[in-house]
């Protein structure tokens, strides 16, 4: 579904009118297509120590960025990368203001601000205070940025996942990820042979793959080299077959909420694969009603599909020999799970529950050959599901984010593909919001 307003304000006349009367001016976001450069302009690298490390410079240029130490007059930069891991006292934050404050003027459209910090926990009171302050800076700056630019924060406990994180957060793949902190921990995060095919040789299963976000995830995983098993209800089998055939994948008719679903899934994996490397829990339904009017069957159906199925399938996989080492599980949550939504107590329960599930499951997956489990919380994404929202409500909802537009299924898919990649092995038990910094929720 096209965003007519977005197209209008990006036309010469529309842009002038919107600017005069103070209407929102969403930008066309830079999104990744195969072969794209990491950035369209150089990256400015800075450090709160005054001198960025050679190692970080090497990582950045290895990821494909042209690295600058300072900006000449009139030069545009595609990204500002600040290593703020050294901050210990509030006074140190002045260096953050100075670097970002001057750099942001040179930032091109769809630019990237990426701050590397250290996680607050375990530090002295003053250091923890200072480190946490970075989050406030990044979240606020994200709201100030215009023309499709984003700001995000990486809590770097371990650098293993930094190469792949830089590639995700600086490229068009993170177009709709804005104002988010994410923790990079220890874990096995091997570099792929080919960064254009990070999932080569991997077997991936996507539930709810017949349409919308699930279909987009299946397509991006296949683009990145995975053999995709597209799973959905039998009733969706017609479009599922078309998707699988397009992606050179296979279909699996599976009702994830059925009692026998875990067993059937394990049987399928045993018969058709050499074990599963990637599982995307995407299948989900809504049955919206105010809690006072909520029917038990609507409550139960949403919980069964969106939450209980994930718990049961994860448990079955961990207890089987069908989940390979360094497996990646990505679970679809929602900003509704963080902020709540009127009429969605059942849906909100499942989406918050998923976040609890990935946090609580992370150690078990880490113990399973350094596997990971993470959640993605999409904000307002243009899909067949959101197309059913009344026009006015939809138009307002679309603008309620820093990027002033809805995301696309591809934005969620890019995040899922990154979390599913070998290089993201240091990300475990985390929730990544893909919401354009939605104004509601955390």
Active-site residue numbers?
347
426 binds another protein (CB under 8 A): no
200 binds another protein (CB under 8 A): no
The tokens for 182 are 């994410």
Determine the size of the site formed for another protein (CB under 8 A): 26
Nearer to another protein, 259 or 396 (CB): 259
- By CB under 8 A, tell whether 251 contacts another protein: yes
254 touches another protein by CB under 8 A: yes
Binding flag, residue 258, another protein (CB under 8 A): yes
The C-alpha atoms of residue 142 and residue 151 are separated, in whole angstroms, by 5
Buried b (16+ CB within 10 A) or exposed e, 405-430: bbbbbbbbbbbbbbbbbbbbbbbbbb
Report residue 210: phi and psi, to 5°.
-75, -15
Residue span binding another protein (CB under 8 A) among the ranges 24-32, 251-259, 296-304, 400-408: 251-259
Q: Does 271 bind another protein (CB under 8 A)?
A: yes
Residue 147, interface with another protein (CB under 8 A)?
A: no
Instruction: Note whether 82 and 169 are within 8 A (CB).
Output: no
Give how far Cα 88 sits from Cα of 47, 94, 244, 364, Å. Answer: 13, 12, 52, 34
- Closest CB to another protein among residues 222, 332: 222
| Distance, CA of 44 to CA of 65 (rounded, Å) | 9
227 near another protein, rule: CB under 8 A: yes
Query: Which range of residues in 58-66, 71-79, 237-245, 379-387 is near another protein by CB under 8 A?
Result: 237-245
- Tell me: does residue 338 bind another protein (CB under 8 A): no
Cα dihedral 128, 174, 223, 309, rounded to 10, equals 60
Identified binder of another protein from the candidate list 205, 240, 265, 376, rule CB under 8 A: 240
Is residue 277 at the binding interface for another protein, with CB under 8 A as the rule? Answer: no
The stretch among 7-15, 54-62, 233-241, 331-339 that binds another protein (CB under 8 A) is 233-241
Give the three-state DSSP class for 232.
strand
Does 253 participate in binding another protein (rule CB under 8 A)? Answer: yes
How many angstroms separate the Cα of 121 from the Cα of each of 130, 157, 243, 249, 366? 11, 10, 45, 43, 20
Least gap, CB of 369 to another protein (angstroms)? 21
Interaction between residue 237 and another protein (CB under 8 A)? yes
Kindly write down the DSSP assignment for every residue of 98-114, as one continuous string: HHHHHHGGGEEEEEEEE
Told to check if 250 binds another protein by CB under 8 A, we report: yes
Indicate the length of the chain as a whole number: 442
Q: Contact, 181 vs 153, CB < 8 A?
A: yes
Residue from 145, 236, 355, 357 in contact with another protein (CB under 8 A): 236
Helix or strand run (H / E) with residue 140: helix 125-144
- Verify binding: residue 263, another protein, rule CB under 8 A: no
Span 349-368, contacts to another protein by CB under 8 A: none
Per CB under 8 A, the segment of 32-40, 59-67, 71-79, 249-257 that binds another protein is: 249-257
Sorted by sequence, the CB contacts under 8 Å of residue 232 that are 6+ apart come out as 207, 208, 209, 210, 214, 240, 251, 253, 254, 283
CB-nearer residue toward another protein: 145 or 244: 244
Among 98, 196, 274, 321, binds another protein (CB under 8 A): 274
Q: Is 265 in the site for another protein (CB under 8 A)?
A: no
Interaction site with another protein (CB under 8 A): 227, 234-238, 240-242, 244-245, 248-255, 258, 260, 264, 271-274
């Amino acid at each position: 579904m096209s965003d007519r307003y977005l197209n209008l304000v990006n036309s010469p006349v529309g842009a002038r009118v919107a600017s005069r009367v103070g209407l929102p001016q969403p930008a066309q976001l830079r999104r990744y297509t195969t072969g794209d450069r990491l950035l369209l302009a150089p990256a400015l690298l800075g450090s709160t120590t005054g001198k960025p490390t050679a190692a970080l410079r090497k990582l950045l240029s290895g990821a494909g960025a042209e690295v600058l130490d300072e900006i000449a007059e009139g030069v545009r930069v595609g990204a500002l990368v600040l290593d703020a891991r050294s901050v210990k006292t509030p006074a140190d934050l002045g260096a953050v203001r100075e670097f970002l404050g001057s750099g942001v003027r040179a930032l091109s459209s769809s630019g990237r601000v990426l701050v590397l910090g250290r996680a607050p926990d375990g530090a002295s009171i003053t250091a923890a205070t200072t480190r946490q302050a970075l989050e406030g800076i990044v979240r606020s700056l994200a709201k100030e940025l215009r023309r499709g630019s984003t700001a995000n924060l990486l809590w770097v406990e371990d650098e293993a996942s930094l190469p792949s994180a830089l590639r995700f957060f600086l490229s068009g793949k993170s177009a709709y990820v804005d104002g988010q902190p994410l923790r990079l921990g220890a874990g096995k995060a091997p570099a792929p042979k080919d960064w254009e095919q990070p999932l080569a040789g991997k077997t991936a299963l996507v539930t709810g793959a017949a349409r919308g976000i699930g279909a987009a995830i299946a397509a991006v995983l296949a683009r990145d080299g995975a053999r995709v098993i597209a799973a959905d209800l039998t009733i969706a089998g017609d479009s599922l077959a078309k998707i699988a055939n397009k992606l050179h994948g296979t279909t699996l008719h599976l009702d994830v909420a059925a009692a026998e679903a875990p067993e059937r899934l394990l049987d399928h994996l045993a018969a058709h694969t050499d074990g599963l490397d990637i599982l995307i829990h995407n299948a989900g339904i809504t049955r919206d009603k105010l809690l006072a009017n909520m029917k038990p069957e609507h409550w139960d159906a949403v919980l069964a599909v969106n939450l209980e199925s994930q718990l049961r399938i994860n448990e079955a996989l961990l207890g089987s020999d069908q989940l390979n080492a360094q497996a990646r599980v990505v679970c679809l949550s929602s900003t509704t799970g963080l902020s709540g939504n009127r009429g969605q107590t059942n849906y909100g329960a499942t989406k918050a529950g998923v976040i609890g599930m990935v946090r609580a499951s992370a150690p078990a997956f880490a113990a399973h050959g350094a596997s990971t489990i993470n959640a993605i919380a999409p904000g307002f994404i243009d899909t067949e599901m959101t197309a059913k929202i009344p026009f006015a409500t939809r138009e307002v909802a679309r603008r309620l984010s820093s990027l002033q537009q809805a995301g696309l299924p591809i934005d969620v898919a890019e995040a899922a593909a990154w979390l599913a990649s070998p290089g993201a092995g240091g990300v475990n038990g985390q929730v990544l919001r893909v919401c354009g910094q939605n104004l509601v929720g955390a």
